[in-house]
Amino acid sequence: MDGILLVNKQKGITSHTLVEKVRKLIGNPKVGHTGTLDPLAEGLMLLTVGKATKILPYIVSHSKEYIATVKLGYSTDTLDVTGEKLAEKEIVPFDREQVITVLNGFLGPQKQLPPMYSAKKVNGKKLYEYARSNKEVERKPADIEITEMELLDLKEDEITFRVVCSSGTYVRVLCQDIARCLNNEGCMKRLIRTAIDRYSLSQSCTLEDIRKGNYSTVSIYDALSDYPYVEMEDISDVRNGKPLKLDREETVVFITHQGEVLAAYEKDGDIYRCKRGLW
């Protein structure tokens, strides 16, 4: 089996645990993922299976949708409710219009500082490894973009919203920032990833579905359909990884044969060089 498996990760397990469970259930050791979710988080994950593990660099998403809930009244070291409390503050009252104004204020391109409790690497070491040793290191703000913000539910001590953002956005940071813009302390209580690019949570399967054999995969051909395809009859040079002369201008093209994706080629001057073979 080769393709992309859309899985609904349950709350309370790590992304690594999910991958291990799927490997055992489908009997295939070649299973990877395109991006993790924290144990607290739930929702859509894209798992690459078989040959699809080789196309991982080409299917890293640019847009993700989440539904998140902010818990007001205190902040934590992890920026979510699983962490140690750092500060508590009596909730300053606010109304619906104030919240909508704050949410809309986050729309557009911006800089965001990665949290210490994250898998982002600094000097070859993950930030959460520094954090667990009570060490704080200098982090560089990352470029992110938020394209949609929508208020879904409002309580005295909780705010639930939907956000569509670029890959690499930390919703935990966003939750804390929203609280502070309302002159409050806050942290993330719940997070559900509802979409990754064109794939939605409604298309996904659960571990129980996989256990019962009730699942299907997105083909490699469909997963890479945003890229240009070059169909070839004689594929001997492609199989041998030789450079190709193609009348194209795109930076990356995929060579296909009878509807099967064979290789990724990248432009290098006047020729295209093989960067990844899918056999």
Q: Please choose, from the candidates 210, 227, 236, the residue with its C-alpha nearest in 3D space to the C-alpha of residue 261.
A: 227
| Residue 40 confidence (pLDDT) | 95
| Residue 271 confidence (pLDDT) | 96
Regarding whether 101 and 7 lie in a shared domain, the answer is: no
| Residue 270 confidence (pLDDT) | 94
Sign of torsion over alpha carbons 234, 236, 239, 245 = negative
Regarding whether 208 and 231 lie in a shared domain, the answer is: no
Return averaged pLDDT per consecutive 10 residues of the chain, 279 residues in all: 95 95 94 90 96 89 93 96 95 98 98 79 70 74 96 98 96 97 98 96 97 95 94 95 95 95 96 94
Regarding whether 187 and 120 lie in a shared domain, the answer is: yes
Regarding whether 208 and 123 lie in a shared domain, the answer is: no
Regarding whether 119 and 235 lie in a shared domain, the answer is: no
Q: Which two tokens stand for residue 86?
A: 């750092």
Among residues 2, 38, 80, 177, the one annotated as catalytic is: 38
Name the DSSP class of 52: G
Regarding whether 72 and 35 lie in a shared domain, the answer is: no
Regarding whether 157 and 81 lie in a shared domain, the answer is: yes
Regarding whether 14 and 91 lie in a shared domain, the answer is: no
CA distance 139 to 116: 8
Q: What is the pTM of this model?
A: 0.90
Regarding whether 111 and 192 lie in a shared domain, the answer is: yes
CATH of the domain at 81: 3.30.2350.10
Regarding whether 49 and 7 lie in a shared domain, the answer is: yes
Residue 248: which domain range?
227-277
CATH of the domain at 231: 2.30.130.10
Alpha helices in the chain (DSSP H): 15-26, 96-104, 127-132, 171-181, 207-211, 220-223, 236-239
Residue 91 burial (10 A CB sphere; 0-12, 13-18, 19+): middle
Which residues, in sequence order, are bridge partners of residue 251? none
Residue 10 burial (10 A CB sphere; 0-12, 13-18, 19+): middle
| Residue 127 confidence (pLDDT) | 67
| Residue 131 confidence (pLDDT) | 67
Residue 153 annotated as catalytic: no
Q: Work out how many domains the chain is built from and give that number.
A: 3
Regarding whether 156 and 212 lie in a shared domain, the answer is: no
Regarding whether 84 and 174 lie in a shared domain, the answer is: yes
Q: Please choose, from the candidates 192, 215, 193, 219, the residue with its C-alpha nearest in 3D space to the C-alpha of residue 205.
A: 215
